[in-house]
Amino acid sequence: MQMMTSRDVAQQCLRGFATIFVALLFSCGGGESREQVPTSPIVFETAIVKLGEMAPEVTQTLTVKVKNVSASPQTIENVISDCSCATPTWADEPIAPGATAEIAITVESGSKQGIKLSKRVTVIVKDAPPVSLGIEGSVQTFVTYGPDSIDAPSDAVTEPSKTEIVLESADSTLFTINAVLPAVNLVQQQTPALRQIVSIDWDKWRASGRPMKIEILTSHPKAPTLPVIVRRFIESK
């Protein structure tokens, strides 16, 4: 066992104090300075816009404001949406310091019911970081249906094959099936009801070019088009 002298202890203490001093020096900015993250000269009045509930296949236009918080005029070079269902429009005039400008954003809900909407719009200004706005909402359900994706049978299946898609009114509105596009369905009843059944005829589907998407058109005023995805059967070699 190595014996420690008072001189050894003093030297260790001095080394400890030196280490602490260097650490404090760097933490207080005496060492290499940290690069500050620049902020955008343009800010939105709110970070997230709530659309609330939307009906399927409708558009809603909202207007948001951006403010120039810098000391010099700023011009919006571009506004980019992360989805083609959100289209922004804006003026290209410079925004004076402290002034605001408006951006109009048109949002399409699409035909899919019962889903959450989450979009993002980003404003680009020259020589500055971009700033983003979140858009949130949901699409209401007026007609439930299922399955909304179906598997096509193999061509080796010789007997007549069909797949049924069941549709039910979610708001007690009577409706009919106006059409199926392409026309790959068997004949369906034309009597308005709370529940309808669409039978897919796979021979008609093959004759129609094996589409990967089928659209069911209903008379319900708030659920006119219901998409169904078809997964093609892949024959093993």
Number of domains within the chain:
2
Residue type, 230: V
198 and 210 together in one domain: yes
Distance in angstroms (rounded) separating the CA atoms of residues 20 and 233? 69
In sequence order, the 6+-apart residues with CB closer than 8 A to the CB of 152 are 202, 205, 210, 230, 231, 232, 233
168 and 120 together in one domain: no
Distance in angstroms (rounded) separating the CA atoms of residues 137 and 120? 12
**What per-residue confidence (pLDDT) applies to 158?**
67
Residue 236 lies in a domain: no
Q: Which of 114, 139, 164 is the last residue of a domain?
A: 139
What's the sign of the alpha-carbon dihedral 33, 35, 37, 38?
Answer: positive
Q: What is the pTM of this model?
A: 0.67
For residue 79, the enclosing domain spans 42-139
Residue 22 lies in a domain: no
59 and 132 together in one domain: yes
161 and 132 together in one domain: no
pLDDT per residue of the chain (237 residues) written in tens, 0 to 9: 343 333 443 444 445 444 434 344 434 444 443 443 458 899 999 999 999 999 998 999 999 999 999 999 999 999 999 999 999 999 989 999 999 999 999 999 988 899 999 999 999 998 889 999 999 999 999 999 999 999 999 887 766 678 999 999 999 999 999 999 999 998 777 899 999 999 999 999 999 999 999 999 999 998 889 999 999 988 766
Residue 132 lies in a domain: yes
Residue 201 lies in a domain: yes
